[in-house]
Amino acid sequence: MKDLVVMDPKEIIARRVSLEIRPKTLVNLGIGIPTLVSDHLTENLGVFFQSENGVVGLGHRPAEGMTDRHLTDAGGTFTSAVPGASIIDSAFSFGLIRGGHLDLTVLGGLQVDAQGHLANWMIPGKFVPGMGGAMDLVTGAKKVIVAMLHSAGGVSKVVPECTLPVTSQRRVDLIVTELAVMAPLDDGLYLLETGPGVSVDEVVAATDADLIIKGDVPQMDLSRTA
Amino acid sequence: MHLAISMEEAVDMIPDGARVMLSGFMGVGTPDGLVRALAASGKKDLTVLVNDAARPHTGVGPLVTAGCVRKFIGSHIGVNPVVQEKMRSGELEVELVPQGTFVERIRAGGMGLGGILTPTGIGTLIAEGKDVIEIDGKQFLLEKPLRADFALIAARSCDYVGNLTYMLSATNFNPIMALSADVVIAEPEEIVPVGVIPPDAVKTPGILVDHVIKRTV
């Protein structure tokens, strides 16, 4: 469990996302902020974390000197496995992802728009990292949460319509930034919660997309755990 | 019949311009000895099919860094600045394929299927120029099989008839790629007598393996 007294923006996002994780589910965490989410979970949820390279039951990073080059996560970082873990090949791994067996994926984003489209695999003319497993994850997971900083270089990443190539036509379920929790629905993007100490006006000012605001919007309650 | 060959013989077998599948995920489960030997050989114009470009000195990286690769087919090139640079300069052609589609196209190539239907990529740049087929009211993209001239496989153990095992996340693309190339060359970490690998533990049957890299000790 992380100390709540001093939390940087990424840890705020990770803690809030961790509250969305349900017991005994299969979860895939993307690289970057999503990877931080598992640090905020209590140990006894019975959740299995999957990585695209074929681990079902990722554990924490092993102690110094106990790493093994045959056991890494989707970022290529040394990892460990929990009791009950299993290993599958890449075809099976994406069968889990596309086949409706994955309960939740948490992914980073370059942009998300008011329709809930995610763009996270290329910036034309600038940087083309590739989609890796992201297109399959967004298309196939039962629930998709985007975990990202609200803006980059002072520019809102929550936009009316993605200007970057989208990752999937599927609408994501939830967007969590350090400033807000938002949900794209049929009639637009709803502001569900604001970040700790953040006002609704501040979120609106920092967001290029129109936000639908109904009633009093609560602040994230980060004292809870999943 | 499985022939133990030297690294040099394996390299000689692979001509300039060959289409080569390489297993691995960020360099884990990649046959590093074969990659290094190929990179040192000065091969030209290879097409590599590999999940990711790893880093300049891991996975397929050394092959690209050495200028052996003309075309890269895979899903991720984000942490290899050499690949990014060669792509920008036009020296390297890059074809990006979603990872689940990539492995399933290779599986189709090895299992005699004419392609796969996947929902992944519908409504994105990936769908451009491809057939969309509706099945029971749902849209799928028709993705064609992928095969190669050579598959270079990294195994944990190999017995005298070529049966292979893999270890943990180094498994990844190995068992799929071993089905989908005309010539399969395995680089195992250890060679064991027949019987040491129980039949249930074999992940790639030896009948699929054409050559095994000879032990030097």
Asked whether the beta carbons of A194 and A180 are under 8 A apart, the reply is yes
Sheet with A188-194: list strands edge to edge.
A81-87, A55-58, A48-51, A26-29, A104-107, A143-147, A174-176, A180-185, A188-194, A211-212
Domain count, chain A: 1
Q: Are A165 and B172 inside 8 Å of each other by CB?
A: no
pLDDT given for residue B1 in this prediction: 47
Domains of chain B: 3-114+145-213 (3.40.1080.10)
Asked whether the beta carbons of B43 and B65 are under 8 A apart, the reply is no
Residue B3: pLDDT band with limits 50, 70, 90: confident
Residue A75 forms part of a structural domain? yes
Residue pLDDT, tens place only, B90-123: 999 999 999 999 999 999 999 999 999 999 999 9
Contact list in B for residue A130 (CB cut-off 8 A) is: 52, 74-78, 96
Tell me: pLDDT of A1 over 70: no
Q: Which residue has the higher pLDDT, B62 or A7?
A: B62
How many CB atoms lie under 10 A from the CB of residue A203? 23
Q: Are A71 and B54 inside 8 Å of each other by CB?
A: no
Tell me: pLDDT of A186 over 80: yes
Residue B2: pLDDT band with limits 50, 70, 90: low
Residue A173 forms part of a structural domain? yes
What is the nearest CA distance from B198 to chain A, expressed in angstroms?
A: 18
Residue A223 forms part of a structural domain? no
Residues of A with CB under 8 A from a CB of B: 51-55, 68-76, 81, 87-91, 94, 97-98, 127-136, 139-140, 165-169
Residue A21 forms part of a structural domain? yes
Residue A126 forms part of a structural domain? yes
List the beta bridge partners of residue B187. Answer: B154
| Phi, psi (rounded to 5 degrees) for A213 | -125, 115
Looking at this predicted complex, what is its ipTM? Answer: 0.96
Residue B217: pLDDT band with limits 50, 70, 90: low
Q: Are B99 and A133 inside 8 Å of each other by CB?
A: yes
Say how far apart CA B184 and CA B166 lie, in whole Å: 15
Contact list in A for residue B26 (CB cut-off 8 A) is: 53, 72, 75-76
Closest residue in A to B101 (Cα–Cα): A136
Residue A19 forms part of a structural domain? yes
Residue A4 forms part of a structural domain? no
pLDDT given for residue A44 in this prediction: 76
Catalytic residue among A11, A20, A43, A52: A52
Strands B181-192 and B148-159: parallel
Residue pLDDT, tens place only, A210-224: 999 999 999 999 988
Contact list in A for residue B203 (CB cut-off 8 A) is: 89
Residue A121 forms part of a structural domain? yes
**DSSP result, chain B:** --EEE-HHHHHHHS-TT-EEEE--BTTBT--HHHHHHHHHHT--SEEEE-SB---TTSTTHHHHHTT-EEEEEESB-TT-HHHHHHHHHTSSEEEE--HHHHHHHHHHHHTT-S-EEESTTTTSGGGTT--EEEETTEEEEEE----EEEEEEEEEEEETT--EE--GGG-TTHHHHTTSEEEEEEEEEEEE-TTSS-GGG-SB-GGG--EEEPP--
Mean predicted confidence (pLDDT) in B139-153: 98
Say how far apart CA A23 and CA A27 lie, in whole Å: 10
Asked whether the beta carbons of B212 and B161 are under 8 A apart, the reply is no
Say how far apart CA A193 and CA A180 lie, in whole Å: 6
What is the nearest CA distance from B26 to chain A, expressed in angstroms?
A: 5
Residue pLDDT, tens place only, A51-83: 999 999 999 889 999 999 999 999 889 999 999
Residue pLDDT, tens place only, B167-204: 999 999 999 999 999 999 999 999 999 999 999 999 99
Closest residue in A to B170 (Cα–Cα): A70
CATH of the domain at A17: 3.40.1080.10
Say how far apart CA B84 and CA B71 lie, in whole Å: 13
**Angle between helical axes of B99-110 and A90-98 (0-180°, round to 10):** 120
Say how far apart CA A156 and CA B132 lie, in whole Å: 34
Give the domain range for residue A112: 9-212
Q: Are A53 and B84 inside 8 Å of each other by CB?
A: no
The residue whose two tokens read 């790493």 is A67
